[in-house]
Structure 1
Amino acid sequence: MRIIALALAATLAAGQPAPVATTGQAAPVATAGQAAPVAADVRLTLPAPTGHDRIGTVSLHLVDASRGDPWVPAEKRRELMAQIWYPAATVDGYRRADWVTPGIAAKLAPPGSGFTVPVTDGHIGAPAAPGRRPVVLFSPGLGMERTTATALVEDLASHGFVVVTIDHTHDANFVEFPDGRIATLALPVPTDETQEKAMLAKALAVRVADTRFVLDTLTAIARGRGPSVPRGLPRALDLNRVAMVGHSMGGATAAETMRVDRRVRAGLNLDGTFFGRVLDTGLDRPFLMLGAATGDDGTWTRMWTKLRGPRHWLELQNTRHLSFTDLQTLLPQMNTPAEQAEPLIGTIDGDRSIAVQRPYVRAFLDRYLRHRPGTLLTGPSPAYPEMRFPH
């Protein structure tokens, strides 16, 4: 389990490596590397959602005037971008959203790169379907954007969840605001373990504050206040049924947010190192740890003993840290050489990895937000032999 610290393979189009650090390791290592040439104008794709619900999406520019930006002191208000994915009443006449915003797409896939970013199954501004829906918050890994688990997020929306993804400004590579400004990564680069721990502790605290602000904003929306959203969406938000999912640092954020905010009733960590006070206090609500079978980093065993509510520990064979992001299916489409891709996404087929992860995440959320059986959580399944239950 690792924490992506300082940037994903952000400029995918240029094939530029991005620095990655793990806890206790400040030195960067290469990530995606130089992808092999691809045919001109190849459109990258994500696996289609498996649910019956059509999907709407809307992006929100949120401004927290109560605090300045913790990473860029000149910015006196904390600005965030969030995106809501939800079951739609109709999608006729509403165009599909791109995987990332235009300004970020131009960085990831500039002219001459040979490919373009995916188009999602979310339709911008579509009216929400009737009915109240459980709400799932998503936080990405450090140095990563809110879009990096779109294949998982839109699948949950197709099965009736409202999913809210969060960009943590300046700890993401890129965050584009509606006026075209693009905020870039501004985390300090640690030079020793002490500085790294301090940076990560600050990043965690900032992310928890971001998440709680997003929750407050959703409460305002549900009450008919706050940002304008598509028709029917305020009534769809059931904020008595909230869970949080996160990858890497986002998984640690989910746990720490649960510690301080009881509005979050269940949490899920996708291959992230735990840290923060939650390692001492533990949690009394449902929590799932789903990661690569590459060895416990110590914090998972420690956290496991502190979980006093329903708990689950799953490992997906032949995966690596970025197998829990969209890159597991995008890097192979870019013809990334195996020796560069496998340390990041393992040897499992990317589409198969997504096909296995989706039902387990959904089973957890179904059980603890919808009071459904979630039978996949009870033990190994012959349909998914890659998933192991080590505890």
Structure 2
Amino acid sequence: MTSRRTLLARRTLLQGTLFGSAAALLPTAASASGGGPFLRLPAPAGPYPVGMQTVHLADPARTDPWVGGVRELMLTVLYPARSVRGFSRAPQLTLDEAGVFAEYAPRVHPGLPEPGVVDWGAVLTHGYVGAPPLPGRRPVLVYSPGGGDSRTLGTSLAEDLASHGRVVVLVDHPGDASQVELPTGMRTTVLTGPPDPVTFRTMADTRIADLRLVLDRLSGLPLAPVMDSARIGLYGHSAGGTAAVYAACGDRRIGAVVNLEGYLDLYPAPVGYDRPLLLFRTERFEGAARIESSWASLPGRRALLADANHWAFTDYGSLVPRLQSAGLVTATARATLVGTGNPVVTLAEVRRRVGAFFARHLW
């Protein structure tokens, strides 16, 4: 039996190992443009450096439900790189996206800093743009973000998954995402508050179709040679988790699904759901009772993220506590968004649970 002293030593080692990633988030210097504190995302923990490419998709067969015209998507593809020497790290947001994000973030998530306080365009990822992929065919994980959020807020978890040898595709859903920069221009969210049932149904239907479009187009993506189409997983946060579970219904291409606190009562409960499923929720989410009720009929594995709230599954889980330390987010806002737990421990637990689940079920 493992002793208490050994368990405490392991936890101390974990926190010490991750401290450098957490310390890098501290707003210790002014940004280059003088627009506020300088923030960093936590580094991935896997053995491989991470490459990154951006992809635009269009579906002439579908009409965009929010603005009409052809349905368009933006993807970020992350993957283990052979080398990153000579390649540049990508910003989390382009300068144009950062300006729009600064405007919309406190509207979508009250309590975040007002425009002009944080230079969101200075936040760098750990993905190197255009770096050559490591040879070999690898599992593919497709991510759908929460309602009102853009794909970029799933960067930290995606980078960690890629650094452990997966190809990860982050999907933006124009119309409900706070902002998406398309080749045709910037799209901003139609949401002005929590969606009503009709709007939420439109969101979910659209996201399910978007995810299936991405799966249909995997073979045509620039990184297709390193993608193993026999090993595909879906994961999503909130509305993205809802979409991931229902997109997998009847689609035998999908081998495993992770639902990060998405409601499953929008449609009839899936009957005979036979895909490996991780149902992962936070301890402090105000919708916990509804979440549990909507998950009751599903046979998936359950996990609980202690001392955490709904957006702890996103990059906010690391960034919001640092903004609070800088006096830019209140303790109440932090608790409402991401909870009160140690962000280093929370991040490690999310990475461990999601990574281990896909490792087990996608070989």
- TM-score w.r.t. length of structure 2: 0.81
* Aligned residue in 1 for 2:57: 62
The 3 A distance-change label for structure 1 pair 304 and 278 is: same
Q: 1:298 aligns with which of 271, 290, 296?
A: 290
Residues 1:349 and 2:342 are matched in the alignment: yes
Q: What displacement does 1:303 show?
A: 2.8
* Aligned residue in 2 for 1:149: 154
What are structure 1's unaligned runs of at least 5 residues? 1-36, 222-228, 371-391
- Residues 289, 314 of structure 1: 8 Å contact kept: yes
Cα distance in structure 1, aligned partners of 2:81 and 2:206? 32
The 3 A distance-change label for structure 1 pair 291 and 78 is: same
Q: What displacement does 1:53 show?
A: 0.6
Instruction: Look up the equivalent residue of 1:124 and give its one-letter code.
Output: V
* Aligned residue in 2 for 1:220: 220
What are structure 2's unaligned runs of at least 5 residues? 1-26, 32-36, 104-114
Cα distance in structure 1, aligned partners of 2:245 and 2:196? 20
The 3 A distance-change label for structure 1 pair 207 and 367 is: same
Residues 1:85 and 2:78 are matched in the alignment: yes
Which structure shows the higher helix fraction? 2
- Residues 38, 115 of structure 1: 8 Å contact kept: no
Residues 1:171 and 2:176 are matched in the alignment: yes
Q: What displacement does 1:265 show?
A: 1.2
Cα distance in structure 2, aligned partners of 1:220 and 1:201? 30
Cα distance in structure 2, aligned partners of 1:44 and 1:188? 27
Q: 1:183 aligns with which of 178, 182, 187?
A: 187
The 3 A distance-change label for structure 1 pair 264 and 348 is: same
Q: CA offsets per residue over residues 237-279 of structure 1, 9 Å max, x none?
A: 0011001110000110110001142211110111221134351
Cα distance in structure 1, aligned partners of 2:193 and 2:306? 32
Residue 219 of structure 1 aligns to a residue whose secondary structure is: helix
* Aligned residue in 1 for 2:207: 207
- Residues 88, 128 of structure 2: 8 Å contact kept: yes
Q: What displacement does 1:341 show?
A: 1.3
* Aligned residue in 2 for 1:256: 246
- Residues 243, 365 of structure 1: 8 Å contact kept: yes
Q: Paired residues, what number?
A: 314
Q: What displacement does 1:118 show?
A: 1.7
Q: What displacement does 1:298 show?
A: 3.5
Residue 86 of structure 1 aligns to a residue whose secondary structure is: strand
Cα distance in structure 1, aligned partners of 2:293 and 2:175? 31
Cα distance in structure 1, aligned partners of 2:319 and 2:291? 30
The 3 A distance-change label for structure 1 pair 38 and 158 is: closer
* Aligned residue in 2 for 1:16: none
Cα distance in structure 2, aligned partners of 1:44 and 1:189? 27
Cα distance in structure 2, aligned partners of 1:362 and 1:159? 8
Q: What displacement does 1:345 show?
A: 0.9
Residue 265 of structure 1 aligns to a residue whose secondary structure is: strand
Q: CA offsets per residue over residues 107-160 of structure 1, 9 Å max, x none?
A: 345995354442111011111100110000000001110011211000000000
Mapping 1:1-391, distance limit 5 Å: 40-41=30-31, 42-73=37-68, 76-108=69-101, 112-116=116-120, 117-178=122-183, 181-187=185-191, 196-221=196-221, 229=222, 233-277=223-267, 279-294=269-284, 296-307=288-299, 311-335=300-324, 336-370=329-363
- Residues 66, 77 of structure 1: 8 Å contact kept: yes
Identity of aligned residues (%): 39
Q: What displacement does 1:200 show?
A: 1.3
The 3 A distance-change label for structure 1 pair 100 and 365 is: same
* Aligned residue in 1 for 2:17: none
Q: Give RMSD over aligned pairs.
A: 2.2
Q: What displacement does 1:47 show?
A: 1.2
